Amino acid sequence: NAQSHKQDYKTTLQEMAQSLLKTIPRYQIAYQEGPDHLRTFETEVLILEQVMGRGKGRSKKESEQLAAKAAIAQLKKHQGAV
């Protein structure tokens, strides 16, 4: 989609995980801190029960996207090593 400037890393990661590993990623909040109006979330993304990426953001959605981006980089690194 040419109009979508912001990449959806979660969708990309799900497609990669299904294609390469026949599984889907699972997201979990590692921790959250701060008052409601200044909350920070750290999310881990697990693939085959292994942490593949972490992301920190001002919302769960943002932290999940950043975790997915990190996991994509990890998968690409592993893919290149095979």
- The pLDDT tens digits for 23-59 are 999 999 999 999 999 999 999 999 999 999 999 999 9
Q: Is the pLDDT of residue 4 over 60?
A: no
Identify the helix (H) or strand (E) that includes residue 78. Answer: helix 60-81
Do residues 66 and 35 touch, judged by C-beta distance below 8 A?
A: no
Q: Is the pTM of this model over 0.85?
A: yes
Do residues 57 and 63 touch, judged by C-beta distance below 8 A?
A: yes
Residue 26 and residue 51: Cα distance in Å, rounded? 9
Residue 33 and residue 61: Cα distance in Å, rounded? 15
Confidence of residue 3 (pLDDT cuts 50, 70, 90): very low
